[in-house]
Amino acid sequence: MKIKAATVREPGKLAVEELNLGEPGIGEVLVKLVASGVCHTDASVMNLKAPTEFPIVLGHEGVGIVEKIGEGVTTLKPGDHVIMSFPSCGHCANCSDGHPYACDQSVPLFFFGVYGDGSKRITDNDGKAIGSLFGQGAFADHCIVAERTAVKVDPELDLKPLCSLGCGVQTGAGAVLLRMQPKPGDTIAIFGCGAVGISAIMAAKLAGCGTIIAIDVVPSRLELAVECGATHVINGRECEDVTAEIRRITNGRGVKFALEAAGVAALITTMLESMENNGLAIMVSMAGGSVNMDVTRLFVGPCVTFAGLVEGGANPRTFIPKLVEYYKKGQLPVDKLCTYYSFDDIDKAFEDSHNGTAIKPVVVF
């Protein structure tokens, strides 16, 4: 079928093109997109700050309605409303063990535009194969996705605000609820109040954290952080010593948990120096770059666990339904993050994501 899709053929250039989408293969479904969120990873791929292969259709926070199912699909049917998430092979040791976020095939499936069998689903009018980012390619009117990558949701819900449950919200909320698992009263610091950071703040509130410290450089984001559960804020541009301020707020102890969601490598050092003894610090953003620190500081004085975590350590098929339940109860008000754009305005959506005007730009089809 003919589709319109936002495609990158050379670094930094996104163009909506008419392309040809094939049929859903074994274990795959065809989805008519309702909306798709812009995530910083889309821009990283577009600007070659992540490994990839052009041409590729961007978009990996798609929500839509199943139009057709491929052979062997048993859990979805035409008409089902779905949130699409990250792909995984389903066969490797981590997938078999319930940890698809650590799939052995993550790099090709996330970034190189291929599906589980190694092939692509889109061609251009010259017959050239075009990739689909994260096995979605969701900046398009239709896309093909693996059944295991799509999560069915209540058709009564407006799908549009739910798109980032597939990536950004899952990443922030998962890091807190699945990996950190804070107890009521615990302390946490969140570096970066974009969609991932704010979702982590909402999750920290949900878990009953007593001290939730939000760090950002944009006052409006810090205000939103407070609205979503932060008990303290630090403006990193105005504060001379963020670590000292975190220690002051926590009576000298430092925080038990911290999340780096700002995409700034230098903040890793600040985060690690702000931890309490036996604390857990997690990095989830594509910060890039390197840090220079004396690694002895990770275990002499406070001993700190530092982890990189993809997609919140989630299994989307079990975690996204939980996130939807929290959303329905008003405990995960993700609609506060969204600004909506028409497909014609996709460049503006990327621009506003880049300059921070919009926290979660959502392209509506």
Give the residues lining the site for Zn ion (CB under 5 A): 39, 41, 167
Site for ligand CXF in 179-238 (CB under 6 A): none
Choose the contact partner of 286 out of Zn ion, ligand CXF, none; CB within 5 to 8 A by kind: ligand CXF
Nearest to 67 by CA among 144, 179, 178: 144
> 265 and 290 in contact (C-beta within 8 Å)?
yes
Site for ligand CXF in 106-145 (CB under 6 A): 110
- Classify each residue of 118-130 as buried b or exposed e, where b means 16 or more C-beta atoms within 10 Å of its C-beta: eebbbebeeeeeb
Tell me how far, at minimum, the Cβ of 311 lies from Zn ion, in Å.
8
Per DSSP, which regions of the chain are E strands? 2-10, 13-21, 28-37, 56-57, 62-69, 81-84, 122-123, 129-132, 142-146, 150-153, 187-191, 211-216, 232-235, 255-260, 275-283, 304-308, 338-342, 360-364
Tell me how far, at minimum, the Cβ of 285 lies from Zn ion, in Å.
10
Q: Is 6 in the site for ligand CXF (CB under 6 A)?
A: no
By C-beta, is 28 or 311 nearer to ligand CXF? Answer: 311
The residue written with tokens 């049929």 in the block is: 23
Q: How far apart are CA 350 and CA 341, in angstroms?
A: 10
Q: Is 309 in the site for ligand CXF (CB under 6 A)?
A: no
Q: Is 286 in the site for ligand CXF (CB under 6 A)?
A: yes
- Position of minimal CB gap to Zn ion: 39
Site for ligand CXF in 13-72 (CB under 6 A): 39, 41
What Å distances lie between residue 54 and 46, 152, 155, 252, CA to CA? Answer: 9, 30, 35, 50
By C-beta, is 113 or 254 nearer to Zn ion? Answer: 113
Among 84, 103, 153, 167, binds ligand CXF (CB under 6 A): 167
Choose the contact partner of 272 out of Zn ion, ligand CXF, none; CB within 5 to 8 A by kind: none
Choose the contact partner of 363 out of Zn ion, ligand CXF, none; CB within 5 to 8 A by kind: none
List contacts with ligand CXF (CB under 6 A): 39, 41, 110, 167, 171, 286, 310-311
